[in-house]
Structure 1
């Protein structure tokens, strides 16, 4: 955090037998209201400063918070782009890990998650709330089994 911005991140601390003391944060704190926006801004800026034009575009376009989802026509393209992303973002301490792919070759090069380490199942990865079967290359979702339907209106009932 820039030192001029610290004044906007102040907090009071009072011990059991002391007067309140005013502190200023010197770094961005996870959970602070602007933290998600700041993290995305810095990630995008890192992509621009340390990556190619294509890398910068993909950093801005294919990330949702800390999840990167993309698709490629060939294993070679997937590997080239993944390595470019990892190298550029590593410069800003954004270490991309836990890659998933429907290609064992891609996973071997980029260091993806071993299929046996996955919590969801041997052939599934979770992608933005969807289930991706990496063997069949299909997307799906799971519904809970609802036994009854309750509907209510604010201020009234049916």
Structure 2
């Protein structure tokens, strides 16, 4: 798999550059280390890794994904052996609906949330990877181990969220004893109730309360080495209280507030304080298969069911393909093709 990745690098030098920069960052920040020669033969699991490029992200366009579900020679993967833990946060629907009840709304996310949580030293060998800095065949492939919670492992979401909850318990209580209790209590409550993994969606009834509570949030989370970034809000005065480098670069501030940011998959227009849908479906390929249709349908993210009456037509169409026994990569018939093209054309009208 490393050979395949390197062949891809040879064709895409820019990807190689960005991928190497991410690996270098892991090493520089102490999130990964080379395995000492005398520990190479310890029991270990090696994870495959590859690049995922997200052009819609404000930061980290190229991300490295580690595959802990790949089975070894014993037909068992690391994820087969890991426990996932219970769900600790509320469902997305509840968080978004509660968020919209505030007059002053704000959103932010935690920088590198998973990588801020260390794993036990003895567990790091179950997160080994192979890498070489230079794809030249003369360079030696080296063994490394990831020292933090790793995206792609089954237990990662629970471990990261549990750490967040523990910070609320430990540092939040400490903050209550040393500062304004009202704002510290609000901040602690937000950490427990208004995060969806690493995304914060919350707010207050007044600008003063929002500013004071956000500062408490920043202070409490910083004690666990968590940093809130990409702040956005429907209130310009609140945003001015946030360090410019920590604001979303999609939040424009001149005389008024403007811009559109993604909040848990939904586009939020800051100036109008409204949710928008922006449907970016790819062009129609020459051959339309069931797999192509499903891929297009998966791009429609609707956590609150606002556009369910529209999406249901597409879902009924997919159901029809199943009843017809169409294979994943078999071209659909002309009648089905025409019907799907009409549905897809109609979906474009969701963009506002």
* CA shift in 2, pair 1:8/1:41, >3 Å: farther
Structure 2 Cα separation of the partners of residues 8 and 45 of structure 1: 25
Match of 1:141 among 277, 295, 299: 277
Find the counterpart in structure 2 of residue 35 from structure 1: 156
Output aligned runs, 1:119-158, within 5 Å.
123-144=259-280, 150-151=317-318, 152-153=321-322, 156=325
Distance in 2 (alpha carbons) for counterparts of 1:2 and 1:8? 10
- Paired residues of 1:86 and 1:96 also in contact (CA < 8 A): yes
Structure 1 stretch 48-57 or stretch 148-157: which is displaced more?
Answer: 148-157
Classify 1:8/1:99 alpha carbon distance in 2 versus 1 (closer, same or farther; 3 Å).
same
Q: Which has the larger radius of gyration?
A: 2
Quick check: 1:67 aligned with 2:199? yes
Name structure 2 gaps, 5 residues minimum.
Answer: 1-118, 131-143, 173-183, 285-292, 294-313, 327-335, 337-352
Query: Aligned-pair distance for 1:24?
Result: 7.5
Q: Residues 10 and 80 from structure 1, CA distance in 2 versus in 1: closer, same or farther, beyond 3 angstroms? A: closer
Matched, 1:113 2:248: yes
Matching of residue 9 in structure 1 with residue 178 in structure 2: no
TM-score (norm 2): 0.36
Gaps of 5+ in 1: 14-22
Partner-residue secondary structure (3-state), 2:202 = coil
What is residue 217 of structure 2 aligned with on the other side? 85
- Matching of residue 50 in structure 1 with residue 171 in structure 2: yes
Q: Structure 1 residues 7, 156: closer, same or farther in 2, change over 3 A?
A: same
Q: Deviations over 1:19-75 (max 9, x none)?
A: xxxx98654333322122111111111122112443222112111111100132111
Q: Deviations over 1:67-107 (max 9, x none)?
A: 10013211112111211111000111110011001112111
Cα 1:87–1:10 change in 2 (3 A) is: closer
Higher RCO by CA contacts (8 Å cutoff, separation 6 or greater): 2
Deviation at 1:2, TM superposition (A): 3.1
Secondary structure at the counterpart of residue 131 of structure 1: strand
Contact in 1 for aligned 2:149/2:160 (Cα 8 Å): no
Looking at structure 2, the residues matched to 141 and 41 of structure 1 have their Cα atoms a distance apart, in angstroms, of 32
Number of corresponding residues: 145
The CA distance in 2 between the partners of 1:109 and 1:12, in whole Å, is 42
Q: Distance in 1 between matches of 2:268 and 2:152?
A: 30
Tell me the residue number matched to 1:17: none
Answer yes or no: is the 8 Å Cα contact 2:124–2:145 preserved in 1: yes
More helix, by proportion: 2
Counterpart for residue 20 of structure 1: none
Q: What do you get for the CA RMSD once the two structures are aligned?
A: 3.3
